[in-house]
Chains A and B, each alone.
Chain A
Amino acid sequence: MAPATFHYEQNEAFEELASGENAIFGSNTRLLVFAASVGFARDHMVENYEESGEMRWNYIGQDQRLAVISGALAYSHTKDEESIVDPDVQIDVLTKYGAGGARIIKREVVDEPGDNLDNLVTFLEDHRDTEDASGRVGVLEQIEKEVSSLSPPDSSES
């Protein structure tokens, strides 16, 4: 049974990037998922994070795209296939990577001089330079085709 809400570290980056008229992120949920992805990519997890924010789990669990990211981060961290259906594990991974990522974003985006949006664009561009994504789209497309076919592999081959 998934919990109704969970606590996460809501540092200054949330105030700067996800609130007010000029917010870049549409919601705290989107910034948390972004922060968790950053934390994962930089391998920065915070075990004892500050529980300064609270969020409803269904904002993530019921959004198909965000649910995929949450499940993937949980599996990639735990290597346990059951984690893709376990909200408790997903929340644990999301919040710990989220806290790690939010601290990186504060340091490298918010605290940097200049406009937050321009700094964020630079932050993304810098990541692109370090990550080799070539060929990934092909692999993912192929797996989608294989897994999404409804019949078991043996019967489709016969």
Chain B
Amino acid sequence: MELDRLELRNFRQFYGEQSLDFSQHANKNVTVIHGSNGSGKTTILNAFLWLFYGDVTLPKPDQIVSERAMAEVGASGTVDVEVHLSFTHDGVDYTASRSKTVRRNRSSDFTGTEVNGDLHLEFIDEAGNRKVRGNANDALRQIMPERLREIFFFDGETIDELSAIGGQEKIQTAIQNIMGLTILERGKRHLEAVRKRFEEEVSKHGSDELSELYEERNDLEDQKASLTEELSDTRDSKEKTQDELENVERRLSELEDSRDLQQERERLEEEVEDLSEESKAINREIADRISKAGYVPFAAPAVEETAKMLREKREKGEIPSEIKTQFVDDLLEMRECICGRELVPETEPYQNVEQWREAAGSSELEEAAMNIASRLTEIGEEEEQVYDDINELLQQRTQVADDIQQKEERISEISSLLEDTDTEDINRLESRRKELDQQVSDYDQQIGTVRGRIEDVEEELEEIKDQIDEVQEQNKKADIARKRAQMAEYMRDRIDELFQKYQDEVRKSVNERVNNIFRDIIAKDYYAEIDDDYSLRILKDIGSEETIPVAKSTGERQVASLSFIASLVSLARERYHSDEESIYFSGGIYPMIMDSPFGYLDPEYQKRVSSVLPEMAEQVVVLVTQSQWTSEVAGEMDAVAGDRYHLEYHDPSEESSVEYEYTEIVAENRGGR
């Protein structure tokens, strides 16, 4: 990013419209802004923060608007505040502006209430057209990542924190961002999330459920086999019993004293069987009548109401109508009346024919009406008929039941007669017959019970099989998810290796640069190092191979931090201009914007910092007090300072004509272009 021009409107103490241009000359790349304490140097740094990130690090952060501008509009007036920056980034010209309109609520209110706010980012495309970026907030954060705000816009009074304890994370983040490693880090984090998601899917779908279901299915199949065997055994037993029963009955038919009774019983039993079938047939007939006409008695009132509606339409002549809507439509479409006259739209004859449609009837409605009408008598008769038919069938069924009862009574009587005969053989045979008959009946019951149980087991088996299919399907998903999770883990590990390798290379490269810059500035026999855990340390050589960390003064820490920032900015610039292809890191141009960078430095360090920094960055912006602009600093900076400004602060306590404080940006020298 190369800064071009900053414009402020009513931003904090910068009343009205104020602007400054940044030095862009290759040999005069430093913009110097002088200002006494409280004149607004830190406010200028904060103008960048407000524009890019929407907040400030100043006291009373809500009070963005110039007090003087607020005072001038009076109560309930509005003031516009704006920060506007022109810059170039990756060869594209941008203008960014953040603005806000605030309303003053009362005379004592200098903060105001926001009425509206806007962030706007425009750029010039390749064809030279001005275009607006849709999501200005994200776009600006991509250009100047917020996590690096302390690197890009640094406050000299706190910059030493980078090399203090706890500065590791900031150092690591800065290296990863500026050196383009975040893409790998993001890839790693994303793959980790992907792996977790697939593993959750594995645990969701893959369970012990399937083996439990297989076990349950095997149990049920065993039960079915056992029941089937029981059924077969019972049938065999029944057959044997029936054979014996038939033998007994045959014997009874052969014996002279029992022959007639036995034959009568056999005939009666056949008749009972026939009557039972007849009874079933009657039931089927009753069911059929209810199925085909049972609804009629319930729906008949609705049919009657509908019939009355049709009669009314018929009386009105609507059904059947003399004329059909389709016929009228056809005439209008052909534009010819039945009398042969031409029908021109919007003429009287056309409108007359059109009116016929109102009297015309729909053929569909008429057809439905005719269908209903043609069934009315039938339905009316059915309402009574269905009851009559059912009653008749019920009477028949009762008659059959009576017949069955009579015959069964006679059968029972025959049995008693046979048991009571004087012949012992017949008594014994009849007793045995009764016993066997009872057994056959018991077997029938048993067979029925077993068949019922088999049906239940089969139903359960079907359900289990469905569940197995479902779980097997889910297991397939689990297998796929497991493979995907393994692949995600493998990819994450490979990316992690790559990431560690690049990170280490980058750290070493930054480390070397930091140390070189640091040693250019520091006169002592000290070294600067970014160690494995990203601590920025200052070391002292105590022998041919050993170094020890040394206690650092604020000034030395400040030099180490400045060296670190300068290394990153210079490496990024070097990479940007390099012809070497790089997958992850294409570098970039970043300015160094420094507020009071010389505060804690000894004069010798001030001189060396002033000498080194302008060489590290494409553009340097220095905000300093006159007291910090020492002869050592000026001696180095004067030659490279292009545009130079001073902040003219108007203090109400010192100027009687000034009621509210304000600052003007005054150009001293314009040699930066």
Contacts and interface: CB of A to CB of B under 8 A. Distances in A.
A74 B201 CA distance: 51
Interface string B292-310: 1011111111111111111
A150 B367 CA distance: 12
B314 A153 contact: yes
Interface stretch (A3-11, A48-56, A64-72): A64-72
Contacts of B300: 131, 133, 136
A147 B375 CA distance: 11
Contacts of A139: 304, 307-308, 380
A124 B305 CA distance: 22
Contacts of B79: none
B373 A136 contact: no
B391 to A, nearest CB: 9
A152 interface: yes
B127 interface: no
A14 interface: no
Interface in A18-66: 23-27, 30-31, 33-34, 36-38, 40-41, 64-65
Interface in B362-394: 362, 364-365, 368-381, 383-384, 386-387, 390, 394
Contacts of A38: 295, 298
Nearest to B317: A152
Given A24-B287, A68-B303, A76-B306, A144 B373 contact: yes
Given A26-B292, A84-B365, A84-B372, A41 B283 contact: no
A69 B384 contact: no
A83 B518 CA distance: 93
Contacts of A64: 371, 375
Contact of A143 (B298, B311, B378): B311
Interface string A100-128: 01000000000000000100110011011
A41 B377 contact: no
Interface in B266-314: 283, 286-288, 290-292, 294-311, 313-314
A153 B322 CA distance: 10
A81 interface: yes
Contacts of A124: 290, 294, 297, 386-387, 390
B306 A85 contact: no
B306 A84 contact: yes
A34 B297 CA distance: 10
A72 B290 contact: no
Contacts of B320: 150-152
Contacts of A65: 375, 378-379
- Tell me what chain B mostly uses at the interface: helix, strand, loop, or mixed: helix
B298 A144 contact: no
Contacts of B580: none
Contacts of B380: 136-141
Given A82-B365, A127-B297, A137-B381, A143 B317 contact: no
A75 B305 contact: yes
B321 interface: yes
Interface in B648-665: none
B297 A143 contact: no
Contact of A84 (B317, B369, B376, B381): B369
A80 B609 CA distance: 94
Contacts of B298: 34, 37-38, 40-41, 101, 127
A73 interface: yes
A73 B394 contact: no
Interface string B553-587: 00000000000000000000000000000000000
B319 interface: yes
Contacts of B309: 75, 81
B422 interface: no
Contact of A140 (B286, B317, B376): B376
B532 interface: no
A138 B386 CA distance: 17
Contact of B368 (A33, A69, A71, A77): A71
B315 interface: yes
Nearest to B294: A34
A82 B376 CA distance: 19
Contact of A85 (B283, B302, B368, B378): B368
A15 interface: no
B295 A34 contact: yes
B376 A144 contact: yes
B286 A121 contact: yes
Contact of B379 (A68, A84, A125): A68
B377 A137 contact: yes
A26 B379 CA distance: 19
Contact of B371 (A41, A67, A76, A81): A67
Contacts of B308: 139, 143
B370 A72 contact: no
Query: Shortest 5 CB-CB distances between A and B: which pairs?
Result: A137-B380, A37-B298, A140-B380, A76-B302, A37-B299
5 contacts: A37-B298, A75-B302, A76-B305, A144-B374, A154-B317
Given A68-B375, A76-B306, 13 more contacts: A27-B291, A30-B291, A37-B296, A41-B298, A41-B301, A65-B378, A65-B379, A72-B299, A75-B302, A121-B290, A131-B300, A146-B314, A148-B370
